[in-house]
Amino acid sequence: MTANLLELKGVHTHIGAYHILHGVDFVVPQGQVTMLLGRNGAGKTTTLRTIMGLWPASKGEITFRGQPLNGVPTPDIAASGIAYVPENMGIFTDLTVKENMVLAARSARHEGELDKARLTWIFGLFPALQKFWLYPAGKLSGGQKQMLAVARAICEPRALILIDEPSKGLAPSIIQNLISAFRELKVQQTTILLVEQNFMMAKALGDQVAVMDDGRVVHTGAMAELAQDTSLQHRLLGLSLGAHA
Amino acid sequence: MNTTVVPVATPPQAIPKASFDWKPVLLLVGLMLAAIPAIGSTSSWITLTFAGLAMGLIIFVIASGLTLVFGLMDVLNFGHGVFIALGAFMATTVMGGMAVFADQGALQALLAIFCAMLVAMAVAGGVGLAFERVIVRPVYGLHLKQILITMGGMIVGEEIIKVIWGPLQIALPLPEPLRGAFFFGDAGIEKYRIVASLVGLAVFGLLVWTLSRTKVGLLIRAGVQDREMVESLGYRIKRLFVGVFAAGSALAGLGGVMWGLYQQSVTPQIGAQVNVLIFIVIIIGGLGSTLGCFIGALLVGLLANYTGFLAPKVALFSNIGLMVAILLWRPQGLYPVTNR
Amino acid sequence: MLLNRILSHDLPRSRWLALALLIVLVALAVAPFAFPGVKALSVAAKALVFILLVASFDLLLGYTGIVSFAHTMFFGIGAYGVAIASTRMEPGFAAVLVGTAAALLVSLLLSLVIGLFSLRVKAIFYAMITLAVASAFQTLASQLSDFTGGEDGLSFKNPPWLSPSFEPFEAPFLGVTIDGKIFTYYLIFTVVVVLVLALLRIVNSPFGRVLQAIRENDFRAEAIGFRTVVYRTWSNVLSALFATVAGALLALWLRYVGPDTTLSFEIMLDILLIVVIGGMGTIYGAVVGSALFVLAQNYLQDLLKLGAVALEGVPVLSQVVTPDRWLLWLGVLFVLSVYHFPTGVVGRLRAARRRD
């Protein structure tokens, strides 16, 4: 029985007067990839941001490794071992690729202190990053930026990685690249919580799945199950399904 | 897709880095060159250009702190002038106390000025820490309140300065050895202006080095773009804010010393007077950009001196005119900072 | 009720506030007779002018959420308009009208330009630009000495009826000799009352509600369909026009205009202080605040003088409790108000009532 790395119980989030999350319950088991699926506006991004403390949860509990995350400031949440790749990638466009990576590596004060072996591995996954190492990150293409965003999240070992819609707007070949990278991460026992609208990618990577709708989790279970049950897919994910097959 | 491990992790040199935007620098050089035919005599041009550059560098020192604070913390300190005044008045006290010592020779004079600068920076930085805590921190993110409350802070600060040093103008004469000018033919370059320029360039160099070569600088540059992401990477950037604010205030204090010595007198209103000027400079440069602030300050300094010589009545509007002209060309300033 | 309609349904909603407003109104109405003496009347006239000036600024800051440091510029334009017209033409009502009309036109154009140029940018940008523009204008006024009298300013004569030497009645009325000064006073009083009521009407109209919506959340207002730039520009223009009239009134009272009577930064700060301490977004805050401020400025200093005498010799305190440093205390009050009493005096009074 794998322990749950991250648990959300009855989490509500309000943004100003808007009640976005209405009691979110799900768990993220250790060492597996959990997909967070759902239509646009279901609350997936809000859930990730709430976990990271960027938006405070108004009610409910979030526990990571048994420790509560509610009310903890974002930098401390990140420092406890969680990496976050937001929907907009959060790339520092005026900084070079190198500088983005140095920043992401909390223990490195400059390039020389980056973990060479790890860097080599990352270059293997995303060769473009090595090629454009000294380029300002703003000049990279969309796909390359996404690779940089993911690379930043993995440049040091982290216990949990939260990723928000990495495949959005990317070419299929690049999506394949990402899938390979995530598969390698799984081998290394990294736990991933992945928000995706691309069901093909979800099927290829996911071990567990949680489906959200209207600020609530409406289904949890094994990915394999959902992948085989087309009527369930249709019911939960509606018409968005076929478009990304 | 390629999944074989590439053995070497050294960065390739062949790929070109970002192309540097030279246009504003060309504008600066262009202005200097355009002034030559306008002024006529080379010696006058040399004198005016050096005066302008020195003035610009002093303005840069004062404004650099403000633009960084704004870029990083999204806080516009309308009370920045109070640190300028504080620095200037501290200088009167220190220089007054060291007057006899300073008059003994050039080295002693420089030492005295150096002492005044250090004291001014320490005091201004310290007050800056208190200012951030008491006045600025309660209103993070609330722009309207920030404008009002920092303005209030300046009023209170100015009055306290009047309590300590009195409400009248105080003379701040240059020590004897630093008065006068070096002459190259007909062109005179004032000794003090050379000192001021060197200090200004040193500050610029230090800022650029810190921003581009240290991790703190990296954090500041990243934070200017996307504060949230820096926090998500695990850095307590709010702690950095305080440091940057204090550093900005210290720089303003340093600038106050330099400005006071430049004018050779100091009044409690000095803060409010220079305030407008630095706002114009940081708007021209691009809010949050150090290089923009640098070029902007030099442009303002040069233009003030050139127009002061060529058309004194126009000189007072040269700043606004410059600001309007630059905003029409680049509405976000010379070097816009891309914000999330 | 008639009162409701006059005040555009924006009642004071607090016994204390209503009382305060009533006191201010009555005191100002009978000032020439109740408080004889040159100084008292001057204080009353200044209070009236400030009420209009600050109320028009409240439209901009309190209701639309825009900080502009150019308000004194429009104040000055109004004053200089009357002054220049009265020196260039024959002094008289024609000159005053021409001057005021010209000033209003200039203010209209300037506020339009500033508004359209700068209101598209962030609030802080706009604040800085208005600061720079106002500063430039002040310099302009002192430089164009042929036109504006430069540093020395312009002295001029009022129209005959408003001239201090005009004494239509031989016998004193209620103990006071009726002269042009008193007529001028009541002219100012009437204009200010009418315009303040007009401001109340404006801020309580649909237009005013949109302004408040923009102040709260301009993204949302834009999303709903209001073109925020248009509304902001209108607010800018209206506020400038009212300030211009205030300037004209001041000129009529002082019969003198100079760069420091209207354009100085100190006045801009005073306006800010009053509107914040009085209560932003209420209009009544401007009324009560201006009255208190002008009173304090002229009479509190005497109080501070007493305090200074009492504390003479005490090292730090004697320097701090002195009439010269009254701005220090005002500044502290201002900072406290922004943070702790964002609704100002008016807000406090209204809150007190709700607790009853």
Cα distance from A98 to chain B (closest Cα, Å)?
Answer: 9
Q: Give me the pLDDT at residue B7, please.
A: 45
Could you tell me the pTM of the whole model? Answer: 0.79
Query: Rounded to 5 degrees, what angle do the CA atoms B112, B114, B118 make?
Result: 120
pLDDT of C80 strictly over 60: yes
Q: Over range B158-180, report the average pLDDT.
A: 85
Report chain B residues whose CB lies below 8 A from the CB of C146: none
Q: Give me the pLDDT at residue B18, please.
A: 59
pLDDT of A1 strictly over 60: no
* C177 compared with A175, residue with greater pLDDT: A175
CB < 8 Å from C in window 129-188 of B: 135, 138-139, 143-145, 147-149, 151-153, 155-156, 159-160, 162-163, 167
Residue B286 and residue B308 in contact, taking contact as beta carbons nearer than 8 Å: no
Q: Give me the pLDDT at residue C118, please.
A: 65
Closest CB from C65, C122, C338 relative to B149:
C338
Residue B14 and residue B285 in contact, taking contact as beta carbons nearer than 8 Å: no
Chains touching chain C, criterion 3+ CB pairs below 8 Å: B
User: How far apart (Å, rounded) are the C-alpha atoms in residues B196 and B274?
Assistant: 17
Q: Is C272 within 8 Å of B316 when comparing Cβ atoms?
A: no
Residue C108 and residue C115 in contact, taking contact as beta carbons nearer than 8 Å: no
Q: Which of A103, A131, A163 to mutate to test the interface with B (most CBs of B within 10 A)?
A: A103
Chains touching chain A, criterion 3+ CB pairs below 8 Å: B
Report chain B residues whose CB lies below 8 A from the CB of C135: 276
Give percent above pLDDT 70 in chain B.
93
pLDDT of B117 strictly over 80: yes
Q: Give me the pLDDT at residue B5, please.
A: 47
B141 CB near a chain A CB, below 8 Å? no
Q: Is B145 within 8 Å of C127 when comparing Cβ atoms?
A: no
Domain boundaries, chain C: 2-355
Residues 6+ apart with CB under 8 A from B279: C128, C131, C132
Q: Provide the pLDDT confidence category of residue C354 given band limits of 50, 70 and 90.
A: low
Q: Give me the pLDDT at residue B44, please.
A: 83
Q: Provide the pLDDT confidence category of residue B17 given band limits of 50, 70 and 90.
A: low
Q: Give me the pLDDT at residue C332, please.
A: 86
Nearest CA in chain C to B158: C328
Which residue, among C71, C106, C109, C67, has the nearest Cα to C232 in the 3D structure?
A: C67
Q: Provide the pLDDT confidence category of residue B134 given band limits of 50, 70 and 90.
A: confident
Residue B303 and residue B52 in contact, taking contact as beta carbons nearer than 8 Å: yes
B331 CB near a chain A CB, below 8 Å? no
* A15 compared with C119, residue with greater pLDDT: A15
pLDDT of C244 strictly over 90: yes
What DSSP string describes C230-290? HHHHHHHHHHHHHHHHHHHHHHHHHSEE-HHHHS-HHHHHHHHHHHHHH-TT-SHHHHHHH
Q: Over range C29-47, report the average pLDDT.
A: 85
Burial class (CB in 10 A: 0-12, 13-18, 19+), B217: middle
Q: Provide the pLDDT confidence category of residue C319 given band limits of 50, 70 and 90.
A: low
Closest CB from C122, C125, C334 relative to B155:
C334
Q: Provide the pLDDT confidence category of residue A18 given band limits of 50, 70 and 90.
A: confident
The one-letter amino acid code at C190 reads: T
Greatest mean pLDDT range, A125-129, A229-233, C33-37: A125-129
Query: What confidence tens digit (pLDDT) does each residue in A57-116 have?
Result: 888 999 998 899 988 999 999 999 999 999 998 999 889 999 999 999 988 888 888 888
Give percent above pLDDT 90 in chain C.
21
Query: What confidence tens digit (pLDDT) does each residue in B58-109 have?
Result: 999 999 988 888 877 778 888 899 999 999 999 999 888 888 887 888 888 8
Mean pLDDT of chain C: 83
User: How far apart (Å, rounded) are the C-alpha atoms in residues B175 and B100?
Assistant: 9
Query: What confidence tens digit (pLDDT) does each residue in B21-32 have?
Result: 888 888 888 888
Residues 6+ apart with CB under 8 A from C23: none
* C21 compared with C124, residue with greater pLDDT: C21
Q: Provide the pLDDT confidence category of residue B339 given band limits of 50, 70 and 90.
A: low
Query: What confidence tens digit (pLDDT) does each residue in A140-164 have?
Result: 988 899 999 999 999 888 899 999 9
Burial class (CB in 10 A: 0-12, 13-18, 19+), A122: buried
* B10 compared with A231, residue with greater pLDDT: A231
Nearest CA in chain C to B166: C319
pLDDT of A7 strictly over 70: yes
pLDDT of C353 strictly over 70: no
User: How far apart (Å, rounded) are the C-alpha atoms in residues A210 and A225?
Assistant: 12
pLDDT of A208 strictly over 50: yes
User: How far apart (Å, rounded) are the C-alpha atoms in residues C67 and C129?
Assistant: 11
Q: Give me the pLDDT at residue A2, please.
A: 58
Q: Which of A84, A85, A94 to mutate to test the interface with B (most CBs of B within 10 A)?
A: A94
For A4-91+158-243, give the CATH class. alpha beta
Report chain C residues whose CB lies below 8 A from the CB of B145: 338-339, 342
Report chain A residues whose CB lies below 8 A from the CB of B225: 92-95
> What's CA C280's distance to the chain center, in Å?
14
Q: Provide the pLDDT confidence category of residue B230 given band limits of 50, 70 and 90.
A: very high
Cα distance from C194 to chain B (closest Cα, Å)?
Answer: 30
Q: Which of C135, C212, C267, C274 to mutate to test the interface with B (most CBs of B within 10 A)?
A: C135
> What's CA B37's distance to the chain center, in Å?
30
Q: Give me the pLDDT at residue A77, please.
A: 93
Q: Is A74 within 8 Å of B228 when comparing Cβ atoms?
A: yes
Q: Is A106 within 8 Å of B233 when comparing Cβ atoms?
A: yes
Q: Give me the pLDDT at residue A94, please.
A: 85
pLDDT of B122 strictly over 50: yes
Nearest CA in chain B to A152: B233
Q: How many CB atoms lie within 10 A of CB C116?
A: 14
Q: Provide the pLDDT confidence category of residue C177 given band limits of 50, 70 and 90.
A: confident
Nearest CA in chain B to A81: B234
Residue A165 and residue A197 in contact, taking contact as beta carbons nearer than 8 Å: yes
Burial class (CB in 10 A: 0-12, 13-18, 19+), B14: exposed
User: Of A33-37, B322-326, C233-237, which gets the smallest average pLDDT?
Assistant: B322-326
Q: Is B272 within 8 Å of C276 when comparing Cβ atoms?
A: no
* ipTM field: 0.89
Domain boundaries, chain A: 4-91+158-243
Beta strands in chain A (DSSP E): 4-15, 18-29, 33-38, 57-64, 67-68, 82-85, 160-164, 191-195, 208-213, 216-222
Report chain C residues whose CB lies below 8 A from the CB of B320: 132-133, 136
Report chain A residues whose CB lies below 8 A from the CB of B6: 120, 123-124, 127, 130
- CA torsion sign for A84, A90, A94, A98 is positive
Q: Is A135 within 8 Å of B17 when comparing Cβ atoms?
A: yes
pLDDT of C268 strictly over 50: yes
Query: What confidence tens digit (pLDDT) does each residue in C207-227 have?
Result: 888 888 888 776 777 777 778
Report chain C residues whose CB lies below 8 A from the CB of B275: 131
Q: Is B225 within 8 Å of A74 when comparing Cβ atoms?
A: no
Closest CB from B279, B313, B316 relative to C128:
B279
Q: Give me the pLDDT at residue B187, please.
A: 76
User: Of B47-56, B256-265, C323-332, which gets the smallest average pLDDT?
Assistant: C323-332
pLDDT of C355 strictly over 60: no
Architecture in CATH for domain C2-355: Orthogonal Bundle (1.10)
Residue B322 and residue B307 in contact, taking contact as beta carbons nearer than 8 Å: no
Report chain B residues whose CB lies below 8 A from the CB of A133: 11-12, 15
Q: Give me the pLDDT at residue A243, please.
A: 42
Report chain B residues whose CB lies below 8 A from the CB of A54: 228, 231-232
B21 CB near a chain A CB, below 8 Å? no
User: Of A201-210, A232-241, B275-284, which gets the smallest average pLDDT?
Assistant: A232-241
Cα distance from B135 to chain A (closest Cα, Å)?
Answer: 23
Q: Is B235 within 8 Å of A106 when comparing Cβ atoms?
A: yes
H-run or E-run covering B184: strand B181-184
User: How far apart (Å, rounded) are the C-alpha atoms in residues C61 and B67?
Assistant: 25
Q: Provide the pLDDT confidence category of residue B138 given band limits of 50, 70 and 90.
A: confident
Domains, chain B, in order of start with CATH, read: 41-329 (1.10.3470)
pLDDT of A42 strictly over 80: yes
Greatest mean pLDDT range, A180-184, B125-129, C66-70: B125-129
Q: Give me the pLDDT at residue B12, please.
A: 45
Q: Provide the pLDDT confidence category of residue C182 given band limits of 50, 70 and 90.
A: confident
B234 CB near a chain A CB, below 8 Å? yes
C67 CB near a chain B CB, below 8 Å? yes
Q: Give me the pLDDT at residue A242, please.
A: 41
